[in-house]
Structure 1
Amino acid sequence: MYSLSISISIQMNMITKCCLLLLFAGVNTIRVSAQSDSSITTPACLSCLCSKDATPAGVMISHVHPKGEWMLSYRYMGMRGKGIEQNGRPVTNDQVYDQDYLMSSDNMHMDMHMLMAMYGLTKNLTLMGMVEYNRSTMNMQAPEGSAHVHNGVPMSSGMAHDMKASGLGDVSVTALYALVNSFNHHLLVSGGITIPTGSIQTKGGAASMYPEQRYPYMMQQGSGTWDVLPGLTYTFQHNKIMASSQLCAAIRTGYNTVGYKLGNKYSFNNWVGYRWLDWFSTSLRAEANTTGSISGSDPTLYAYNEPSANPYNYGGQTITGYAGVNFYFLGKNKIGIEGGLPLYQKANGIQTAASSTIHLNYTLVF
């Protein structure tokens, strides 16, 4: 346990240093641009900040809205996993089978469709609500040379099986308050909750490896708990450049009705964006995440069915780098696209390795 604590501390120090390095580089870019750009942004442009800013597609919070202003947004996030890693080292399906797992997976897809609304209650206070629809697919593979009956389903040598689940996720409600809301500087504190509307009872079909039984934890649609969402966001804007640094978390408040609790998640997010044209901007972003393992367990799951059925194979540390573009049209309409690749990842236990992430959004301000 002592060595594990040291390891986590070392990894978090690495994550923090990498993100601070990116932020430092962004700040220096801002200084150089500010010195070379002689144009002056007028106060009238403040009303355009929410519709024509350079905020990347994958970032939810960067500033509050003026009193009485609405923002509606559709967002899509797609995550792809390829290969397997165990505690930061790549492993094969055969190595997973050698640890007594009946099946293994080295390929997965996760898709989230989100509808979000924001409203400026006062000049410094904005309310935000979001609902999501999730779809997950994981390809399972039985070892060559095996033949057995699992949960009443015959599993033959090399048999492949797709585990699929979809449904509405948890609803979140968040308040954003601007501690500083000046012409160039915005410091926001945010606080929210997730309402456990997402199902934690999703089951497999009659012919699946979980026939009429609950799927593993990652295939469920919600956490099953009321979670707290604190955050702190600083955004700097000068002429055509924006930069932001953000700390946020998802804190689980207890165990759900099945008997487990997802791990707390902490994120450190840094980005720099530039408006090249009135209708076009680009961005670079680095996001570091650390997520705890699952506490407790689902008593109906056999942990060695496959790695995702084992609560110890959840959480870890990641750093993801993103590049994005935004397009502005018809006044206050905005389309954003952002793609990401893993820069660093160390999973707790055995997990499918992340290979790519994409964010898409359409935003309307009125």
Structure 2
Amino acid sequence: MNKVLVLGAGQLARMMDLAGTPLNLDVKAFDVRSNKVVHPLANEHTYGDLQTGIDNCDVITAEFEHIAHDVLAVCEASGKLLPSSDAIKIGGDRRLEKALLESCQVANAKHKIIDSRADFDAAIADLQLPIIFKSALEGYDGKGQWRLKSMDQAAAIWADMQDFVEQANTSVPQGIIAEQMVPFEREVSIVGARSRNGEIAVYPITENHHTNGVLSVSLAVASTNALQEQALEVFTKLTEKLDYVGVLAIEFFQVGEQLLVNEIAPRVHNSGHWTQQGSDCCQFENHLRATLGLPLGNTELIRPTAMINILGEDSVPEQVLSIPGVAMHWYNKSKRAGRKMGHINVCANSEQQLAEKLQLLASILEPNAFEDLQDFADRFQARLG
């Protein structure tokens, strides 16, 4: 039995365990809050400290990128960490991420690194309004971001960013990236896996919709070959540059027929949850296969699928389960406003049928809890004609 240690004990480690059980894999998780190795489905069951976990596993991987560097160093020294600590750090620091994109000549938004007020002023002079400022570390789900739309906001934004940086409690110095805001048509992502021997398998492009900066709906339907090939080319460049092993997600802005990289995530990703019902081999299983040196599973879209995040709610109407093609995935978390509590996958035999199911779900689910679902369903329906 192969044994896997996941750095992080959240829902992604949980879903890796669920995907690994049929393969007879033993998955444990290192809880960075308690510094204990725990069972991914029942954190109250503990199995010693980090070193014990390292000694008793075949491979170490991660469910998130904001891991203390001393923890990464210990894991890297064991020779068991996949992907590498460098790859994980790049996903957690936008400065390193931008450097990687530039080194691979991958298209992304025009940007500047901000270390001082002089850098801030120079960025405003060089970039066109509107400009988005993002924290280099630990910014996710809309946090650590500021939008400069007019010059009368500049002083207040600088003061807020300066305070944010000074208050940072990070293992390396916090920083800010200034980016030209992109007038994109839609946000899409690609999730794929690269194995130890360099084999690559990517899932179809997914269209993503955000509510208040947090992913709310991902839609996996047939895409144009040109866009898919463009995303695959970027995925291949980045993973080969990093000698990457595991699942990697890349978020893009689509501008016409061009894809601009927004950010990368060196792990299984929220926009790939649809793969649990929409593909033969989900992203969680493929991540385990890749890191253990097993053949990668089929990543083709087998039916149109959408994923709906459940944010801040610990229940949904039971009527949801009466809809054919619906699967529930709860994370066993305590209720908190805005928290990712679970997700709903809904599948159909055609895009039109999927649109109808999304309309039905929007009519059943509480509109205040799923505030943009009806709008997304309406736009998807209108697109199909």
TM-score normalised by length of structure 2: 0.23
TM-score normalised by length of structure 1: 0.24
**Which protein has greater RCO, CA pairs closer than 8 Å, 6+ apart?**
1
Which is strand-richer, 1 or 2?
Answer: 1
Q: Which has the larger radius of gyration?
A: 1
